[in-house]
Amino acid sequence: MQKSQKSILDHIPEFLEYLDIEKGLSHNSQITYNRFINKFENWLKENNFTTLLPHELTSEHIWQYRVYLSKIYNKNTHQPLKRTSINYYLITLRNLLNYFADRDIISLPAEKIKLFPEKKDKNIKFLQLEQIEKLLAAPDISNIIGLRDKAILETLFSTGLRVAELVSLNRNQIKIDNIDDELEVNVIGKGDKLRPVYFSPRALKAIQDYLNTRKDDEPALFINYKGPITKDHRLTTRSIENIVRKYVIKAGISIPASPHTLRHSFATDLLMQGVDLRMVQEFLGHKNIATTQIYTHITSKKLKDIHKKFHSLKE
């Protein structure tokens, strides 16, 4: 182990290259890490720690950074960052320290950065099927925007795609030979893992109706119709989130649903229909079965309600 004479700030570009080349993180994951580490860079600069060397970083610095994060407010909700969000910033910093360890650079051990404990039972938000039906019927399909938005909503529920996976879809991936058959499409998810997802005939019909109105040469499946002509018109993840929220309100659904809520709804519906948890793990592209197990308490409650209704002795 050796002391580096380069400041922590000067090491950050190499850290990002390390995530790309050695850790093989996907492009979207690299963007996320870049955003999280930028917050730490800003903190270093604002506190005149631009020359701080890796071995000079102390637990007191980490504490000051935690306090800094706790005072940041979300621009949309005007509320302080949630503990789960703060954890993401701290995990990124942990990975920076792990990078130093891999390079035999003396620094604070990563385990010195303590995370906020996660709740054991996550409150998974999902929509009931009648709410899904209302949501899918909400777009006005008399215009191209409505046709596009209906195709987006149908695709999210049919496939269980992550929002980043959805925006990455291209038109040439959707080859509709028979509208009555499901379509299997391979997508690259987290960690560059390839997995198949399935478009139902209903989702394909919505996509076909939308594509029939397209007169452009854009490769993206879902595009934005606003902005300058020279700009890439592929919808962003934020745009998809706003589209879903728009129709949740229009459909009169009380749950503040997001694209991830539709992913939860997709998984919950499969489990309610008796699909094995391991199969749901494959559909969702989860690396670890433990991630998929967050849904089991939902189905367990459903089984309990069924047992109570149909099996208990009546007085």
Catalytic hit among 88, 89, 210, 295:
295
pLDDT at residue 144 in the model: 94
Catalytic hit among 94, 150, 263, 264:
263
Could you confirm whether 162 is annotated as catalytic?
yes
pLDDT at residue 240 in the model: 94
Provide the greatest CA pair distance for the chain: 79
Taking the C-alpha atoms of residue 101 and residue 16, their distance in angstroms, rounded to an integer, is 15
Averaged pLDDT in 10-residue chunks for the chain of 315 residues? 92 89 74 89 94 94 93 79 87 92 92 79 76 95 96 95 93 87 87 87 95 92 78 86 94 89 89 82 83 69 58 52
Catalytic hit among 11, 39, 150, 162:
162
234: DSSP letter:
B
Could you confirm whether 297 is annotated as catalytic?
no
Could you confirm whether 307 is annotated as catalytic?
no
Catalytic hit among 171, 190, 205, 234:
190
pLDDT at residue 115 in the model: 87
Q: By the 8 A CB rule, do 74 and 80 touch?
A: yes
Catalytic hit among 83, 134, 245, 260:
260
Taking the C-alpha atoms of residue 11 and residue 44, their distance in angstroms, rounded to an integer, is 13
Taking the C-alpha atoms of residue 216 and residue 201, their distance in angstroms, rounded to an integer, is 25
Could you tell me the two tokens for 152? 């987006």
Taking the C-alpha atoms of residue 148 and residue 169, their distance in angstroms, rounded to an integer, is 14
Question: CA 280, 283, 288, 291: dihedral to nearest 10 degrees?
Answer: -60
Taking the C-alpha atoms of residue 284 and residue 266, their distance in angstroms, rounded to an integer, is 9
Could you confirm whether 190 is annotated as catalytic?
yes
pLDDT at residue 116 in the model: 83
Specify the pTM. Answer: 0.62
